[in-house]
Amino acid sequence: MENNNYRRDEHRVYLINYHLVWTPKRRKPVPTGNVVKDCKALIAGKCEEYGWRVIELALQPDHVHRFVETFPSPPASEVVKQCNGLTAHALRQKYPLLKKLPSLWTRSYFAATAGDVSAETIQRYIEAQKGL
């Protein structure tokens, strides 16, 4: 599968895929309706800006799954922080109802790395989550 090819630059050969999951504050059901569409577009734009490739993205009312390919340098915490900060700010400006929450996202998140073997499994899992 093309998703699992090693990436190369002038000094490195790498395959860094993060499976990231984070939740809205107090697990309040946030990503619904147009918020989902806007949140996905914001995350995709931020990833493109940094040169990260979104392999899979699923937004559920009480959590977000993202499977993303990055460079070796950014830690998972930076990948989460960049998208959470942007989406929290932009979505709260566009949707005043979200301003009632003290913050949009929790500071907690789940992160796992995936190699050649488990990448397909994670992708299928996230795809299955979309059907909920």
Residue 95 lies in domain: 2-129
| Total domain count, the chain | 1
Task: Determine the residue type at 119.
Answer: A
**pTM as predicted:** 0.79
How high is the mean pLDDT in each 10-residue block of the chain (132 residues)? 67 88 81 85 95 92 90 92 92 88 88 72 79 63
The confidence score (pLDDT) of residue 24 equals 85
The confidence score (pLDDT) of residue 3 equals 45
The confidence score (pLDDT) of residue 81 equals 93
Non-local (6+) Cβ contacts of 109 within 8 A are 20, 21, 22, 76, 77, 80
- CATH number of the structural domain spanning residue 17: 3.30.70.1290
Q: Which helix (H) or strand (E) segment is 2 a member of?
A: none
E strands present in 39-99: 53-60, 63-70
